[in-house]
Structure 1
Amino acid sequence: MMMLSRRNILYALKKKYDKTALVYDAYRLPWIEGPLSYLENSILREYLKDGLTLEVGIGTGRMVRYIVDKVQEYFGIDISFRMLQQCKNKYGHKLELILADAENTCFKENSFDNLLAMKVFKFLEPSKFLKEAKRILKNDGVLFIFVEVKDSLYFRLGEKLGVFIPKEEKHYYVREVFKMINNAGFKSARATPVANILLGSYLLLWYLFFPASWLRNLLSLLNRNPTFIKFITRIDRIIPSRFLVLFIASKP
């Protein structure tokens, strides 16, 4: 089987997200709001520095509303023009959006205090991205990488059922991500579980029954219910498993 070149992979991703930009938020509702975004936001804000912040693969800007007022200035890049358009329609006056590739950005060295990669690491060439991230981060700048890890039961179940894991994605074990971050020259790398198997099961139900079913409609209502959000996040923190992990590291 012929291997796709990196250029062809990026073109396919761009085409995919340009095509789905208008319906992306509806399909990804559990990631946009609800218990998962609550967990991501609460953990991320503990570590964010008050400074210049770049989010790579910003898409439609699902995290912008949670952190834009907590940082000095917010920049977002993406390879999909139409995803950036959706983001601009929602938050354009609050941040600077640029059509760019996370592995080859247009920024000067030592530009940012924070660099976020929210579930886009699976699309990137790790060594190239980490090298570029280190280049554009300031000294003691912080790198945040959210990763769906292969250690999780959620991931293995999705793999068996043939959902969640498109062919263009590459996933890793926790130990592999640590090794890549350390080899790239970052310091003080650590991992914080963001969500466990309970939320993984919740997402599994959502995607299996999308776009239309009574269960999906019920989940949509629950997803916006503050009591449900608090309940499911409290239980999720008790269960000793993980599917989404935040890796944090600093530039020396």
Structure 2
Amino acid sequence: MYAIVQKNIFKDHFSKQADSYQAYRPTYPGELFKYLTSVAPSNRLAWDCATGSGQAALALAYFYDQIIATDASETQMRNTTQHEKIDYIIATAENSNIKNNSVDLITIAQALHWFETDVFFTEAKRVLKNNGIIAAWTYNLFRLEPEINSIIDHFDQNIIGEFWPDERKLVDNGYASIEFPFKRIKAPRFKMTTRWSLPHVLGYLETWSAVQRYKEINNLNPLETITEDLSLAWGDPQIKKEIDWPLTLIAGRHKTNKP
């Protein structure tokens, strides 16, 4: 179950495809969470902000005594997997209702670009312990074989490019333009790796917000424009191919003014 802290007004690009989002999104590497836990002051409490379907929260449950997982979307919350260590709460990133100075680690997976960052970072400073860690990561296009990559790049840039929300530009530049008011930590590089069939890849592409917006405006599925070429390049659609997503991670430590 989940608790509702507030009824929220927010930019919602994923609730309509929440079921698909849970089924088709890639999983984050366990090494990422192991590393973040190793640099946090303790493993008592983590806040997974904008948890979506709860993927990162479930990974954190291997390392933390308690996880507070918040999301502004009630629809997304209905698709989370319950866990005894996780408290799911409907709340915006900017108004979490979490206790002051209580959190060891804040994680934001593929979501920081949707936030009012100035307000959110103030909220993060409020809830973090001294020396607490905040970590946000993002990923862009997946990579396979060159022929498939070129089809996906064309689809992204020339077919659905104009339908991405403006915030997508922050993902494209790897969060470089976001002012991050924490003491930076030089973190290792991480990537997601999985093996998917062609139907799974198409299901994943269906979760893209630009695909959904294209469908709403044009009453057509833009995936139809690349399905034939993608099928020819893939071969047997049931063959699973290795897919990589390099992660861009920004992480920092919160230092209070207290001695």
TM-score range, shorter chain: 0.5 to 0.7
Gaps of 5+ in 2: 1-7, 144-148, 207-222
1:115 is matched with which residue: 106, 111, 132?
106
Partner of 2:16: 19
Contact 2:47 2:106 (C-alpha < 8 Å) held by counterparts: yes
- SS of the equivalent of 2:120 reads helix
Q: How does 1:51-200 map to 2 (within 5 A)?
A: 51-87=44-80, 90-148=81-139, 158-162=156-160, 166-167=164-165, 169-172=167-170, 173-174=173-174, 176-177=176-177, 180-181=179-180, 184=181, 186-195=182-191
2:247 is matched with which residue: 244, 248, 251?
244
- SS of the equivalent of 2:185 reads strand
Call closer, same or farther: CA 1:193–1:101 in 2, change over 3 Å: same
Call closer, same or farther: CA 1:210–1:162 in 2, change over 3 Å: closer
1:156 to partner: Cα distance: 7.3
Partner of 2:215: none
Contact 2:57 2:69 (C-alpha < 8 Å) held by counterparts: no
- SS of the equivalent of 1:244 reads strand
Give me the identity figure in percent. Answer: 19
- SS of the equivalent of 1:86 reads coil
1:127 to partner: Cα distance: 1.8
Correspondence 1:45 to 2:65: no
- SS of the equivalent of 2:138 reads strand
Partner of 1:225: none
Q: Distance in 2 between matches of 1:73 and 1:51?
A: 6
Call closer, same or farther: CA 1:156–1:127 in 2, change over 3 Å: farther
Higher Cα radius of gyration: 2
Whichever residue aligns with residue 194 of structure 1, its letter is: F
Q: Which structure features the higher share of helix residues?
A: 1
Whichever residue aligns with residue 59 of structure 2, its letter is: Y
Q: Distance in 1 between matches of 2:191 and 2:204?
A: 21
1:133 to partner: Cα distance: 1.2
Q: Distance in 2 between matches of 1:136 and 1:187?
A: 16
Gaps of 5+ in 1: 1-8, 223-227, 237-241
Query: What do residues 8-57 of structure 1 show as CA deviations (whole Å, max 9, x unaligned)?
Result: x95440xx4332222322342xx14xxxx3xx321231221312000011
TM-score of the pair, normalised by structure 2? 0.64
Contact 1:119 1:148 (C-alpha < 8 Å) held by counterparts: yes
CA RMSD of aligned residues (A): 3.9
Aligned length: 207
Whichever residue aligns with residue 42 of structure 1, its letter is: E
- SS of the equivalent of 2:14 reads helix
Query: What do residues 40-78 of structure 1 show as CA deviations (whole Å, max 9, x unaligned)?
Result: 321231221312000011111112332202112111000
Q: Distance in 1 between matches of 2:167 and 2:9?
A: 11
1:160 to partner: Cα distance: 4.1
Contact 2:24 2:203 (C-alpha < 8 Å) held by counterparts: no
1:165 to partner: Cα distance: 7.0
- SS of the equivalent of 1:76 reads strand
